[in-house]
Chain A
Amino acid sequence: MAEAGPRAIRDDLFDAAFLGRVEQLALLARRMASSGQRAQRRTRKSGSGLEFADHREYTPGDDPRGIDWNLYARSERLNLKQYEEEEDLSVWFLLDRSSSMTMAPEGVPTLFDRALQVTAALSYISLSNLDRVAVVPFGETIAPPMRPLRGRNQFFRILRALSALEPGGKTAIRGALEAFERHQPRRGLVLLLSDFYDPTGLGDGLRHLSIRGYEPMVLQLCDRSLLDPQLWGDLAMVDVETGEVREMTLTPALMAKYRKAFEAFSAEVERAAREVGARYLQVDVSTPFDEVVMKVFRAGGFLG
């Protein structure tokens, strides 16, 4: 995605109350981190950090400044001191912008809007935590990822980028994740926000992402009010993405089957996430975004 230009920020989503709530969440997140969780995330990569990690045998070409002379005095062997290198965490928000994310009864926010709010809130928290943050919308395909932003002062650029997003099109998760990986962005946390209404499924894409070293986290957005529609009789169901029409006679029994089918579908999504060690959360659209953020925190792994 190209960086957002000087566009307006959507007031309906990111108003002052939202910003205040986000700030509170950031404070809450820091408190949670100090109580047991680390605020920064460290990589396993050895480097020039301050904290000793291990020794390794010296080989020619290594920087001699790193030789542990004390050890050499005891063992007469040349070893280099290894330090854990502190590295910025990259957080990629892969945001589903397909048409199915816009489905919502009247008076209920759409999945897309809720996803935008959650993304914004988590972005603010990540930026506050000095992580690098990028928002990558996807549908059938994906645009070149934006350059990750760092620092809290970049938050409004994130908001402008989110406000500029227009939903539409189909969902093709596997293709989108493969395209995302081909752009070889920095490894990091990939937060997938989607309803995952993809006939091809989620498993292959997640597996591909995991193999490439990314740490995926699955946030399934759903609207449970759609599971209990007040519609009966002969209907022509039109797929909002593909336009396919399926004629059916909707009965209470059929609706119950649909609910069961949805639960089975959600289970499939969760199973696909668990198979690659990804964390999985299912969030109803009616859930306030701050609760969603807290759920994400409780799921763990989001903050260092």
Chain B
Amino acid sequence: MTPSGLYTDWQQWLLLAAPVLGALALLYLLRPRRRRVEVPFGGLWQRVLQESEARVLGKQWRRILSFVLLAALAGLLLASLAEPMFTKAPVAVDARAVPHTVIVVDTSASMASASGASTRLQEAILAVEKLVDAAPAPARFLLLAASSHTRVLSGWGAERPALKEALRRLQPTSAGLDLQRAHEAAGQALAGRAQPRIVLVSDGGRPQVAFDVPAQPPLQHVWVGPARPAAEAAQKRGAASPSATAGELLPSGLANLAVEQVRVRPDAGDPSRGTLTVRVRNDGRGAVAAQLLIAGSGTAQTVGDFERDEALRRLHELDLPPGSSSHDIPGLDLSAPRIGVRVRPRPVSDGTLANDVAAYDDWGFAVLAERKEIRVLLVGPRNLFLEASLHASDRIRVGARDGAEGVLPASAYDATRFSAVDRGRHGIDVVILNQVDLPLPDGTPGLVLQLPAPATLTAATPGAKPLPPVQYAEAPELAVRAGDHPLMRGVSFQDANFDKVRVLRPQPGDTVLAIARPSSPVMVARQQGVRRVEWGLDLDETDLGGRYAMPILVDNAIAWLVGEDEPLVTPIEPGRPWAVEAPVSGLRWTYHEPGQLPRPARVSGTQLLGASEAHGIHVWRADDGREVARPTALPATEQPGDVGARGEPWRPLPPILRSGERLAALPAWALLLLVAAAALALEWGLYLRRRTL
């Protein structure tokens, strides 16, 4: 036993012994007093007592019993001064016979859920402590914390205090549970060890990878949380793993609200404002009156940062039906690039909040994509509407960085000059070819507005297969085909008129954005390789240029071509390894994990590598001031009400304790109290019997 362990045990046993001793002292003080009677010759009574007690078998038995009880009490008290573990053979244990158990404690996000006064992780810690206390003393344990990855909390050992100390340091993460990895780690740790066994303590949160439990080493589940009753019932029946749908296992009257997704759509023409779309989930069985708290900040990373008053932007009240539902919040100030959204039950009249089973999933985060300057080269005849649309966006610059003209006639255009290799010099991000049949620069995305076809088509070379004829649609009715595509976001052709459009021939993998009814493609986006957008439009043959859709179309096209099709950066999932694209290579980056001190980032080329189980906004900052921020989105598997089928078969296993060790499994203090209570009851009974004589 280590000194610290001894100290801990002393404290525990003193805490246990104090009330017991106090009760005994109180009973002693309150015990009925004997009547005092004066006698002339006590020696005569002494003779009587000696003869009587020595001869009466019952009294002899009572004396022996009292002695045994007193001896047992004294022995237990003395034994409690040492480490009170019950073992049949604490010394000379055969190492080959020592059971080895790997305890895997689920620390995934759902373990932070609380159905009562304690979280599931706290329940798990108690369950492990009971299991450890009940095991035979020589048994050795390895403690693993499993979430997205597996950590060793306490190495192989039989020291209970050290193991419990490690247990108490456990904290739930915001990551999912990678049970496969945990099981592999446990199996490796048990390789070659005697009596191997794995104990998984979990709320049944769905593993990311379903797998079959191998025959060896045996796996035993210890369930915590609301799934436990169903699991235990299933175990008694010898049935397979329990299953329940989301929400069914939430106790009646409790709710859990969660933010599933946060999206932002900047307003066309005013990107400093936009519409926030929040998808929230109500895991309860009925509608819940809720609040949405929307916070924005330029620097916040954690929930605590967003909870500051100055970060609060908007407060919305809404009624949430069971299940998932989306809610649009228009007109949101997007001046701050980092957005935090919290959903919570609406406070009742006295200011208190309704019970929410899990707090970890109440927050969702979003980061607006950086709106960098985009340089555009326009080639072809000048068009007022096209140029006006380009200038409508405050981040689009027409013209090269090296002073080249932004609008070039076809004769002055040299595609090789604006290749992507030299982008650092000329800075051209996008080339727009308007009514010219010229190639795009290598590696440079472009928007091509198709020429009207020549009057006659001839084969390019003699004997070659003639080109297919160019098709046109006269006075067509255009319709948006891919409304969800970033290029067509906010676009409508309802008020535009077209005299003539060219029907395009999309290649495999292209996305048809718009058609001339009934089905002729007139707008195509090519995502494979260098991005390219084709419009079968001649802006002189339509009034689209004067419509609201024109600048939106142009802005969407330019943003999509440079890879900024989404206004939000892609969220990352806590616990999963990620590689975040850095804007430039060769810089030294510092990683700012939410709630942690900055540390040097792992960089591979232009990839920022890492993994974290923290929920919030992760930030990488370069030494030249550049910054990359990524929000996290909780894994969908970590819903507090989703404790459903796990995929692996249920294997009822014999308990860790062998039948002969049942008694030893009783906690020492319980046994002590039991004996003390029995002694008191017996003494009290004997006293009552004497009083009735």
- Whether A248 lies near B691 (C-beta < 8 A) is no
Q: Report the minimal beta-carbon distance from B118 to chain A, rounded to whole angstroms.
A: 49
- Whether B40 lies near A103 (C-beta < 8 A) is yes
User: Could you say which residues of chain A place their CB within 8 Å of the CB of B687?
Assistant: 234
Q: In the complex the two chains form, what is the Cα distance from A56 to B39 in whole Å?
A: 60
What mask results when residues 36 to 62 of chain B are scored 1 for a CB within 8 Å of chain A, else 0? 111111111111110110000000000
- Whether B43 lies near A234 (C-beta < 8 A) is no
Count of B residues near A, CB < 8 Å? 23
- Whether A235 lies near B44 (C-beta < 8 A) is no
Determine if B658 is an interface residue (Cβ-Cβ < 8 Å).
no
21 sample A-B contacts, Cβ–Cβ < 8 Å, listed by A number = A100-B41, A101-B40, A103-B39, A195-B40, A226-B39, A231-B35, A233-B691, A233-B693, A234-B34, A234-B35, A234-B687, A238-B36, A239-B41, A241-B41, A246-B42, A246-B46, A251-B693, A253-B52, A254-B52, A257-B48, A257-B51
A11-19, A30-38, A258-266, A292-300 - the one binding chain B: A258-266
Q: In the complex the two chains form, what is the Cα distance from A101 to B51 in whole Å?
A: 26
Determine if A244 is an interface residue (Cβ-Cβ < 8 Å).
yes
Question: Of B32, B42, B52, which one neighbours A237 at CB under 8 angstroms?
Answer: B42
Determine if B372 is an interface residue (Cβ-Cβ < 8 Å).
no
- Whether A244 lies near B38 (C-beta < 8 A) is no
Residue of B nearest to A199 (CB): B43
Question: Quick one: given A249-B690, A249-B693, are A226 and B46 in contact (CB under 8 Å)?
Answer: no
Question: Of A195, A244, A254, which one neighbours B42 at CB under 8 angstroms?
Answer: A244
Question: Ordered nearest first, which 3 A-B pairs have the shortest CB separation?
Answer: A239-B42, A197-B41, A100-B40
What mask results when residues 407 to 429 of chain B are scored 1 for a CB within 8 Å of chain A, else 0? 00000000000000000000000
Q: Report the minimal beta-carbon distance from B284 to chain A, rounded to whole angstroms.
A: 64
Residue of B nearest to A232 (CB): B693
Residue of A nearest to B44 (CB): A261
Question: Quick one: given A233-B691, A234-B691, are A240 and B44 in contact (CB under 8 Å)?
Answer: no
Q: Report the minimal beta-carbon distance from A224 to chain B, rounded to whole angstroms.
A: 12
Question: Of B40, B43, B693, which one neighbours A226 at CB under 8 angstroms?
Answer: B40
Residue of A nearest to B39 (CB): A237
- Whether A197 lies near B36 (C-beta < 8 A) is no
Determine if A63 is an interface residue (Cβ-Cβ < 8 Å).
no
Count of A residues near B, CB < 8 Å? 35
User: Could you say which residues of chain A place their CB within 8 Å of the CB of B40?
Assistant: 99-101, 103, 195, 197, 226, 240-241
Question: Of B34, B41, B43, B52, which one neighbours A247 at CB under 8 angstroms?
Answer: B34
Question: Of A101, A103, A248, which one neighbours B45 at CB under 8 angstroms?
Answer: A248
Determine if A236 is an interface residue (Cβ-Cβ < 8 Å).
yes
Q: In the complex the two chains form, what is the Cα distance from A201 to B45 in whole Å?
A: 16
Determine if A242 is an interface residue (Cβ-Cβ < 8 Å).
yes
Residue among B32, B36, B41, B45 facing the most chain A CB atoms (10 A cut-off)? B41
Question: Quick one: given A234-B690, A239-B43, A242-B42, are A257 and B52 in contact (CB under 8 Å)?
Answer: yes
* Besides A235-B36, A237-B37, A237-B39, 17 new A-B residue pairs in contact (Cβ under 8 A), listed by A number: A100-B41, A103-B39, A103-B40, A197-B41, A231-B35, A233-B691, A239-B38, A239-B39, A239-B42, A239-B43, A244-B42, A246-B42, A246-B46, A249-B690, A254-B52, A258-B48, A261-B44
Question: Of B37, B46, B47, which one neighbours A236 at CB under 8 angstroms?
Answer: B37
- Whether A258 lies near B690 (C-beta < 8 A) is no
User: Could you say which residues of chain B place their CB within 8 Å of the CB of A241?
Assistant: 40-41
Q: In the complex the two chains form, what is the Cα distance from A43 to B451 in whole Å?
A: 176
User: Could you say which residues of chain B place their CB within 8 Å of the CB of A236?
Assistant: 34-37
Question: Of B45, B51, B693, which one neighbours A246 at CB under 8 angstroms?
Answer: B45
Q: Report the minimal beta-carbon distance from A15 to chain B, rounded to whole angstroms.
A: 27
What mask results when residues 182 to 219 of chain A are scored 1 for a CB within 8 Å of chain B, else 0? 00000000000001010100000000000000000000
Q: In the complex the two chains form, what is the Cα distance from A247 to B42 in whole Å?
A: 11
Residue of B nearest to A98 (CB): B40
Q: In the complex the two chains form, what is the Cα distance from A241 to B475 in whole Å?
A: 137
Q: Report the minimal beta-carbon distance from B43 to chain A, rounded to whole angstroms.
A: 5
Main secondary structure of the interface of A (DSSP, over half): mixed
Residue of B nearest to A103 (CB): B40
Residue among B37, B39, B44 facing the most chain A CB atoms (10 A cut-off)? B39
Q: In the complex the two chains form, what is the Cα distance from A197 to B46 in whole Å?
A: 13
Residue of A nearest to B33 (CB): A236
- Whether B37 lies near A238 (C-beta < 8 A) is yes
Q: Report the minimal beta-carbon distance from B127 to chain A, rounded to whole angstroms.
A: 49
Q: In the complex the two chains form, what is the Cα distance from A62 to B167 in whole Å?
A: 119
Q: In the complex the two chains form, what is the Cα distance from A100 to B134 in whole Å?
A: 63
Q: In the complex the two chains form, what is the Cα distance from A262 to B43 in whole Å?
A: 11
User: Could you say which residues of chain B place their CB within 8 Å of the CB of A253?
Assistant: 52
User: Could you say which residues of chain B place their CB within 8 Å of the CB of A237?
Assistant: 37, 39, 42, 45
Residue among B46, B48, B49, B691 facing the most chain A CB atoms (10 A cut-off)? B48
Q: Report the minimal beta-carbon distance from B473 to chain A, rounded to whole angstroms.
A: 117
Q: Report the minimal beta-carbon distance from B348 to chain A, rounded to whole angstroms.
A: 62
User: Could you say which residues of chain B place their CB within 8 Å of the CB of A249?
Assistant: 690, 693
Q: In the complex the two chains form, what is the Cα distance from A237 to B45 in whole Å?
A: 8
Q: Report the minimal beta-carbon distance from B59 to chain A, rounded to whole angstroms.
A: 10
- Whether B47 lies near A261 (C-beta < 8 A) is yes
Q: In the complex the two chains form, what is the Cα distance from A31 to B89 in whole Å?
A: 94
What mask results when residues 14 to 40 of chain B are scored 1 for a CB within 8 Å of chain A, else 0? 000000000000000000101111111
Q: Report the minimal beta-carbon distance from A35 to chain B, rounded to whole angstroms.
A: 40
User: Could you say which residues of chain A place their CB within 8 Å of the CB of B45?
Assistant: 237, 246, 248, 258
Residue of B nearest to A196 (CB): B41
Residue of A nearest to B49 (CB): A248
User: Could you say which residues of chain A place their CB within 8 Å of the CB of B35?
Assistant: 231, 233-236
- Whether A238 lies near B39 (C-beta < 8 A) is yes
User: Could you say which residues of chain B place their CB within 8 Å of the CB of A99?
Assistant: 40
- Whether A231 lies near B37 (C-beta < 8 A) is yes
Q: In the complex the two chains form, what is the Cα distance from A195 to B690 in whole Å?
A: 32
Question: Of A199, A240, A254, which one neighbours B48 at CB under 8 angstroms?
Answer: A254
What mask results when residues 675 to 693 of chain B are scored 1 for a CB within 8 Å of chain A, else 0? 0000000000001001101
Residue of A nearest to B43 (CB): A199
Residue among A195, A258, A262 facing the most chain B CB atoms (10 A cut-off)? A258
> Which residues, 80 to 124 on A, are CB-close (under 8 Å) to B?
99-101, 103
Q: Report the minimal beta-carbon distance from A215 to chain B, rounded to whole angstroms.
A: 27
User: Could you say which residues of chain A place their CB within 8 Å of the CB of B42?
Assistant: 237-239, 242, 244, 246
User: Could you say which residues of chain B place their CB within 8 Å of the CB of A247?
Assistant: 34
Q: In the complex the two chains form, what is the Cα distance from A130 to B685 in whole Å?
A: 68
User: Could you say which residues of chain A place their CB within 8 Å of the CB of B690?
Assistant: 233-234, 249
Question: Quick one: given A246-B49, A257-B51, are A235 and B43 in contact (CB under 8 Å)?
Answer: no
Q: Report the minimal beta-carbon distance from B684 to chain A, rounded to whole angstroms.
A: 13
User: Could you say which residues of chain B place their CB within 8 Å of the CB of A226?
Assistant: 39-40
Residue of A nearest to B32 (CB): A234
- Whether A235 lies near B693 (C-beta < 8 A) is no
- Whether B43 lies near A197 (C-beta < 8 A) is yes
- Whether B48 lies near A261 (C-beta < 8 A) is yes
User: Could you say which residues of chain B place their CB within 8 Å of the CB of A248?
Assistant: 45, 49
What mask results when residues 46 to 78 of chain A are scored 1 for a CB within 8 Å of chain B, else 0? 000000000000000000000000000000000
Residue of A nearest to B55 (CB): A257
User: Could you say which residues of chain A place their CB within 8 Å of the CB of B47?
Assistant: 261
User: Could you say which residues of chain B place their CB within 8 Å of the CB of A103?
Assistant: 38-40
Residue of A nearest to B35 (CB): A235
User: Could you say which residues of chain B place their CB within 8 Å of the CB of A245?
Assistant: 36
Residue of A nearest to B36 (CB): A236
Q: In the complex the two chains form, what is the Cα distance from A197 to B52 in whole Å?
A: 21
Q: Report the minimal beta-carbon distance from A261 to chain B, rounded to whole angstroms.
A: 5
User: Could you say which residues of chain A place their CB within 8 Å of the CB of B49?
Assistant: 246, 248
- Whether B39 lies near A240 (C-beta < 8 A) is yes
User: Could you say which residues of chain A place their CB within 8 Å of the CB of B39?
Assistant: 103, 226, 237-240
Question: Of A229, A238, A258, which one neighbours B44 at CB under 8 angstroms?
Answer: A258
- Whether B44 lies near A265 (C-beta < 8 A) is yes
Q: In the complex the two chains form, what is the Cα distance from A195 to B38 in whole Å?
A: 16
User: Could you say which residues of chain A place their CB within 8 Å of the CB of B43?
Assistant: 197, 199, 239
Q: In the complex the two chains form, what is the Cα distance from A261 to B44 in whole Å?
A: 7
- Whether B38 lies near A240 (C-beta < 8 A) is yes
Q: In the complex the two chains form, what is the Cα distance from A290 to B85 in whole Å?
A: 79
Q: Report the minimal beta-carbon distance from B207 to chain A, rounded to whole angstroms.
A: 68
User: Could you say which residues of chain A place their CB within 8 Å of the CB of B38?
Assistant: 103, 238-240
